[in-house]
Structures are given as structure tokens and as C-alpha cells.
Amino acid sequence: MDGFLESRREFLRKTGLTAGALLLSPKNLFANAAEAAADYTIHIKAAAIEIAPNQILSTITYNGQLPGPLIRFQEGREATVDILNHTDTPEQLHWHGQKVSTDVDGAAEEGTPYIPANGQRRITFTPNPSGFRFYHTHNRAGANFSAGQYSGQVGPVYIEPKENPGRYDHEVFLVLKEFDPTLSRGGDMPQNFLSPSATDKLLKETGEATMKASLAKGMPHGYEVGYKFFTINGRMLGHGEPVRVKHGERVLFHILNGSATEIRSLALPGHSFEVIALDGNPVPNPTHVPMLWIGTAERISAIVEMNHPGVWIMGDLADDDRNHGMGIVIEYGGRSGKPQWKTSPAFRWNYAQFAKAGSIAPDPDETFDMTFAKDNAAEEGFNRWTINGVAYPMSNEMAPASFHLKQGKRYRLRMRNASDDIHPIHLHRHSFELTNLAGIKTAGVMKDVVMVGGYQQCEIDFVADNPGLTLFHCHQQLHMDFGFMVLFDYV
Ligand SMILES: [Cu+2]
């Protein structure tokens, strides 16, 4: 193929036409030819990944690396991506946070064709909206802990906006990811950073009574997952390249929680984060915070002014996770020595901090009520999850849609969490606005994942502006795999 391109260039030269004179790139010249090169090629393949000296994992990756390569798109410019699957398992590659068609989105439940085992798919789409997105596998893992998002199939996407997003000296992408999962019976996901923290009395009574009844029948607690290894950009703390900075610099961090199941915190001693975007969408009120709290599949873009020279650990506030690798070294020019860690002052994470005070979301055309519930240990030891009493079929296939949308209408989802777990809730192919957090109204913060705390309520609004089947699910792999999904369609 290179030879083919070469001969065309040679032809142009000989005929006195340069590519520059035509203002055509090779891609444009061969746009209709089957041989045209893709803008990006992604290889799904097994690879050995060294996360620390002599600590080597075997996992399914994108292009043999962890995380997968950073893919930069241009807002509004059509792109072609070849996805080659070198494994024996049909795969789905999901373009998380993008407004694309169901044919491209990467969810079997919406009807996206699989990338066949030992086969390939070419897709063409117009990346949007601009900002920090990501790509990851959307396969069901079930009880197979080397499949789905337990694998290394995760990578960052940046869609360059037409306008410059802010003043900074350089950008750093960080992907947070755990490996070597094991199961335990029961166990809690820490929620002590969430604000508002008020729980709903009725939800709590309902959830606790259900759990009590299950345990009284002799059921054990359902499985929860934990990990042995913790990495940032594929390396355990202290074993990768440090982020090298200069005094006075403004560094824009794009941080992705690529975990299958975990919520993370992140702090950098002596520094604050100016959060400018959540899930890639600029926030109305950029605000300085001492730490970040980032749910499964959430992204935070934050500027750190490097005004505290030293060698520091940017790491998880949970000592155990940080000591097992969840951190990265930040090293100022001319400084050396052992990286330092200091515990941050107590802080609560509230999405409404980044909203414009006093702004009110418009009324929706229609509101859908959803109640999330846990059926303790009901699926061979795994918790079964239901939305309005129904668990999604555990087949990764299409099922009848439960909620029906009309194009152009604005919808509100009133979510009630009747479980003690926290859920990072995700809506495909649309962005939503946070409009109510545990009873407190807010507006203006646009996201594609929201954490709904145990026994809490949360409301999100979205405009039905992208026809086709649309998947809604908890992004916690163990929850989505065991029923916590539902489909919307357009009627
Ligand atoms: Cu969940």
C-alpha cells in the first residue's frame, strides 16, 4: 500500500501537480478506494505488560500497550478507524461520551455489530462533542475476570475543540487502572467523600429490610471485587516515568478512571486542582479543590499551578491502594529525592461546586422514574441488580426497550437508589445535565456518568437528540453484568 501511495505521488510530481497545490491529503485522494488508510488502527490483542520491575501482567490490550494509545480527533472532522481483533473472542469497542450512531457506538445491546474474533471492522464517524472522552471494551465479563473491563482494554480520546479550552503550559493524560481482581463476600465501597450525604429514609428502610430478609433466609453476602495491583498509565507508583514539571507552570491534567469497578480519590500534597471540565465538558464554574473524587468511567480535567517545588506523590487518599501502586510521581526541575506524600485535609466532593450558583434547569417534557435495587447474592453468589424490578437479560444481547423517547424532547430521569452501594450511572450517545443531587437542585453541569450514592436520589436531564437504541447502565462492571442496564428507544 505504501508503494501504491508512492506511485500516486510520483504521478503527481511527473504531471507537475504537487499534493500541496491540490490541497488534498492522501486520505482525501483515496477517500473512495477500499485501500484507503484509516486515520487510526486499533489492534485488540494479548500482551505482556510490565507494571513494575518483574511484575508482569498478561492481559488483552489496545496495540499491546497500557493504556491504549491516545487518540486525538478534530471536532467535526470525519474519521475512519480500523479495529482488528486478534483474539478468539468477538469484541465491542465503545466510544464513551460521544454522540455517535448505534452502528458505531460499540454496544451489542444497541445493535452494534461485533468485531469478529480474528476479524476486523472499519468504522467511519464524526467525533463529537469536543473534549476528553475515552474508548473501552463493552463486553460482558460476568464471572470471567480476565474479560471486559477487567482487561487492559481502555484508552483516552481527546477531541480537539474548535476553540482553545484554556490557558496552560502542557497537557498530561493519566489513566487509572487496577489489575488482578479477586472476590470477597460483601465489603463496602467507600462513599465518605460524597456530598450531599443525606440519605432517603424510605429508600434506606426498603433496602435494609430486603437485605435483612435475604440474610435471614441463610443467603451469604453477594460477591464484591478487590484488586492486587494499582497503576497510573500502566505503571505502579514509583515505577514509571515521573511527570516532570517546572516551577510556575500550569499543567492541565486529563484524568480518566479506567477501573472496571472502583471509585478513586486523587490528591497532590501542597497543590490544588482547578477543575475546568467534567467528563470532557467545560463546567460553568471552574473551581479550586484540594482533591479529586472520580467514579468508574468519569473524567476530570483540572489545571494544577506548580507552585510548591519538590518531588511529590500524586496519589489515592486510601493508603492501602496508594501503597499498592495507585499514584504517580510529580517531579520539579532541579529537585530530587524520595517522593513525598502528605494526607490532605478532609474534603467533600459535590458536583454542584462546579455549577453556576442560582441557575435553574428548564422543566422537562417528561419525567421517568427509576428505582435501583439489589437482590442479594441471587445470581450464583453475585448480586442481581434491577431497575424498576427488572434485571436486564444476562446475555449481552438486545432486549425490548423499556423507555421511549421522542426526538427533540427534554427528559428527566428521577433515579432512586434503594441499595447501600454507590453507582456510577452512564447514558450512552447523549450528554446529560445534573439537575438534582440528593434533593438539592442544580443546573449547568453536563456529564455522561454520575455517581448516585447509597440510598440517595439524583435527577439528570437530557435532550433526545440522537435517534436509535440507547443504553443506560451502571458502569460498575459487576453491576452492569448482573442486570443493571436498560434500553431507551426513539418512537
Ligand atoms: Cu452500580
**What pLDDT digit, counting tens, does each position of 407-416 carry?**
999 999 999 9
Q: How do residues 76-105 score in pLDDT, each as one tens digit?
A: 899 999 999 999 999 999 999 999 999 999
Q: Cα(34) to centroid of ligand 1, in Å?
A: 43
Residues flanking ion ligand 1, Cβ below 5 Å = 423, 474, 476, 479
d(CA 200, CA 42): 45
Check: pTM over 0.85? Answer yes or no. yes
Write the pLDDT tens digit of every residue in 120-159. 999 999 999 999 999 999 999 999 999 999 999 999 999 9
Residue 367, Cβ neighbours under 10 Å: how many? Answer: 12
Calculate how far, in angstroms, residue 259's C-alpha sits from the geometric centre of ligand 1.
Answer: 13
CA distance 405 to 461: 13
C-alpha of residue 480 to centroid of ligand 1, in Å: 7
Q: CA 389 to CA 396: how far, in whole Å?
A: 19
Distance 129 CA to ligand 1 centre (A): 26
Dist. CA 486 → ligand 1 center (Å): 13
Report how far ligand 1's centroid is from the alpha carbon of 243 (Å).
33
Provide the residue type at 247 as one letter.
H
Between the CA of 417 and the centroid of ligand 1 the distance, in Å, is 10
Expressed in angstroms and rounded, the spacing between residue 201 Cα and the centre of ligand 1 is: 20
**pLDDT tens-digit map of 386-442:** 999 999 999 777 899 999 999 999 999 999 999 999 999 999 999 999 999 999 999
Task: Output the CA 433–ligand 1 centroid distance in Å.
Answer: 20
Half-sphere exposure of 334 (CA within 13 A, CB side): 4
pLDDT in tens, 335-390: 999 999 998 878 999 999 999 888 899 999 999 999 999 999 999 999 999 999 99
